[in-house]
Amino acid sequence: MPSQPLLQALVPCPTGPLQVPLEGPPQSAGRGEAGVGLGRDRPLDLSLVIPTYNEAANVAVLVEQLTQLLEGVMPHRYELILVDDDSPDRTWKTALGLTPTYPQLRVMRRRTERGLSSAVIRGWQVARGQILAVIDADLQHPPQVLTDLLAAMHQGADLAVASRHVTGGGVSDWNLARRLLSRGAQTLGLLLLPQVVGRVSDPMSGYFMVQRRAIAGPILNPKGYKILLEVLGRGKVHTIAEVGYVFQERQQGASKVTWRQYVDYMHHLLRLRLGGRISQVHQRFPLKRFVRFGLVGLSGVVVDMAMLYLLHGSLGLPLTRSKIVAAEVAIINNFIWNDAWTFADVSLQQRGWSARLKRFLKFNLICLAGLVLNVLVLNGVYNLVFGQRWAYLANLIAIAVVTFWNFWLNLKLSWRVTQIK
Ligand code: GDD
Ligand code: MN
């Protein structure tokens, strides 16, 4: 049983609603409080929450790296708040043992609640900094990215996200299945909650900073792993910065992600979608880009028709095969124009054939999925809505629906390429 003084050094767990206060709690001289003896009356700039479950093998290395980095950037103006869910490996006790060496480290041991997202918010509830942040304990989130995130916050961002899906981002060793799962979850989110999930390139990120004023007030109700969704969905976030980082291999311990996190994610999406109270931060619809995308799409129709006439009409090849080739040639035509015109500003930042090939493969995948959607909408409208009449009007509606689908998903996925350093 830990000694009494040790237990007193634990930060009391907040209870009640998951609501971040507009002002941090007053600097108290209580033990285990950051800044003891270090000019407690001064506000802190940054409160970095480290959610842990069975991370005893990682915390010492992480705290050392974070301290080295932050002491150089903002000496004594930051705190580390480790929130442990009563880990079987007693991560909380290991962390407590570090507090004499690292006075800016505060440790919370939760015994009645569990879960990554709520752990982060409970940490933010006891935080004193004006900037609230979260980082994983297992060194998969490189600490040095904090300086880039801080720079973005000091330049006025409400939210700065470490993203795997912008220039300089990537994942070190994920297998194809995990990549597809992560991208699939993101696509689902883009379809269910475009105004939330579509605001950042890596909505699954668990590594970010947010201004306290942007997240204080609303009662948060996250589920599972995706705390960033809750911040985007319920916070007052206007300006977002993204910093590319490469998600590292885990050194010690194991990931706690199971199928349950994906179920929680779906549940969370639906709750945000149906539960309303999504903060309406208006982003202008990229109309100019959409018009260009539509014009390129029209050129694709011309290419498709011309190819169909050439292959089937004059060379006499079978209709289906001719159509497949014509559709693919039209997709290539559309990619070339979109990459060089519609999204030129984005593709110019991501030069190189491998980046271009990645954009093309994503574009192709989305357009082929759009083809399936086209057939489904066409048949749905023609057979169920129009009672097997007005086939061409039904086709026009299908084309319009798919144009939005193609535009929105390409905007959010294709022209943001993951580049492994
Ligand atoms: N307090 C607490 N309670 N912490 C938890 C819990 C929990 O129930 N479950 C996991 N954690 C902590 C882990 O100890 C680790 O520090 C961090 O949350 C991430 O958990 P991992 O199990 O390592 O997740 P991952 O590496 O598969 O995915 C992480 O990175 C992704 C990319 O940023 C998570 O942060 C994902 O949310 C994120 O999408
Ligand atoms: Mn991890």
Could you tell me if residue 360 is inside a domain? yes
Question: Within this chain, do residues 165 and 304 fall inside the same structural domain, yes or no?
Answer: no
Question: Within this chain, do residues 168 and 20 fall inside the same structural domain, yes or no?
Answer: yes
Indicate whether residue 117 lines ligand 1 (CB < 6 A).
Answer: no
Phi, psi of 366 (to 5 degrees): -65, -40
Geometric angle at alpha carbon 95, from 90 and 101, rounded to 5°: 150
Domain count for the chain: 2
Question: Which one of 220, 243, 275 terminates a domain?
Answer: 275
Could you tell me if residue 282 is inside a domain? no
pLDDT recorded at residue 38? 46
Question: Within this chain, do residues 255 and 367 fall inside the same structural domain, yes or no?
Answer: no
Select from 59, 257, 262 the residue to mutate for testing ligand 1; criterion: most ligand atoms less than 8 Å from CB. Answer: 257
Indicate whether residue 85 lines ligand 1 (CB < 6 A).
Answer: yes
Question: Within this chain, do residues 227 and 372 fall inside the same structural domain, yes or no?
Answer: no
253 Cα nearest atom in ligand 1: 23
Could you tell me if residue 280 is inside a domain? no
Question: Which one of 234, 255, 275 terminates a domain?
Answer: 275
Q: Hey, how many other C-beta atoms are within 10 angstroms of the C-beta on 317?
A: 15
Question: Within this chain, do residues 395 and 311 fall inside the same structural domain, yes or no?
Answer: yes
Question: Within this chain, do residues 248 and 180 fall inside the same structural domain, yes or no?
Answer: yes
| Strand pairing category for 129-134 and 44-52 | parallel
Q: Which helix (H) or strand (E) holds 70?
A: helix 56-73
pLDDT recorded at residue 34? 46
Select from 86, 136, 139, 250 the residue to mutate for testing ligand 1; criterion: most ligand atoms less than 8 Å from CB. Answer: 136
162 Cα nearest atom in ligand 1: 33
Q: Note whether 48 and 79 are within 8 A (CB).
A: yes
Question: Which one of 219, 242, 275 terminates a domain?
Answer: 275
Could you tell me if residue 281 is inside a domain? no
Indicate whether residue 115 lines ligand 1 (CB < 6 A).
Answer: yes
Could you tell me if residue 420 is inside a domain? no
Residue of the CA atom closest to atom 17 of ligand 1: 136
Indicate whether residue 140 lines ligand 1 (CB < 6 A).
Answer: yes
Residue of the CA atom closest to atom 38 of ligand 1: 206
Supply 71's token pair. 């002491």
The CA-atom distances, in angstroms, between 68 and each of 42, 206, 243, 418 are 21, 22, 21, 29
* Three-state SS at 201: coil
226 Cα nearest atom in ligand 1: 37
**Which ligand is located closest to the Cα atom of residue 135?**
1
Select from 134, 225, 247, 418 the residue to mutate for testing ligand 1; criterion: most ligand atoms less than 8 Å from CB. Answer: 225
Could you tell me if residue 193 is inside a domain? yes
Question: Within this chain, do residues 42 and 188 fall inside the same structural domain, yes or no?
Answer: yes
Question: Within this chain, do residues 13 and 114 fall inside the same structural domain, yes or no?
Answer: yes
Q: Which amino acid is at 27?
A: Q
Ligand 2 (ion): residues with CB under 5 Å are 138, 140
Supply 407's token pair. 């535009």
State the CATH number of the domain containing residue 260.
3.90.550.10
Question: Within this chain, do residues 17 and 83 fall inside the same structural domain, yes or no?
Answer: yes
pLDDT recorded at residue 66? 98
Place of tokens 């999204």: 343
Question: Within this chain, do residues 222 and 323 fall inside the same structural domain, yes or no?
Answer: no
Indicate whether residue 116 lines ligand 1 (CB < 6 A).
Answer: yes
pLDDT recorded at residue 32? 45
pLDDT recorded at residue 107? 97
CA dist 152 and 133 (Å) reads 13
**Ligand 2 centroid – CA 287 distance (Å):** 39
Could you tell me if residue 419 is inside a domain? no
Question: Within this chain, do residues 25 and 171 fall inside the same structural domain, yes or no?
Answer: yes
CA-based nearest residue to 218, from 275, 160, 270, 266:
275
**pLDDT mean for each 10 residues of the chain (421 residues):** 65 94 67 45 86 96 97 95 97 96 96 94 96 97 96 94 85 76 81 80 93 93 83 90 90 82 82 67 75 94 90 89 89 95 87 87 91 88 88 85 89 65 32
Question: Within this chain, do residues 351 and 376 fall inside the same structural domain, yes or no?
Answer: yes
Domain hosting residue 319, numbered range: 287-414
pLDDT recorded at residue 5? 59
Could you tell me if residue 421 is inside a domain? no
Select from 48, 52, 181, 207 the residue to mutate for testing ligand 1; criterion: most ligand atoms less than 8 Å from CB. Answer: 52
Indicate whether residue 225 lines ligand 1 (CB < 6 A).
Answer: yes
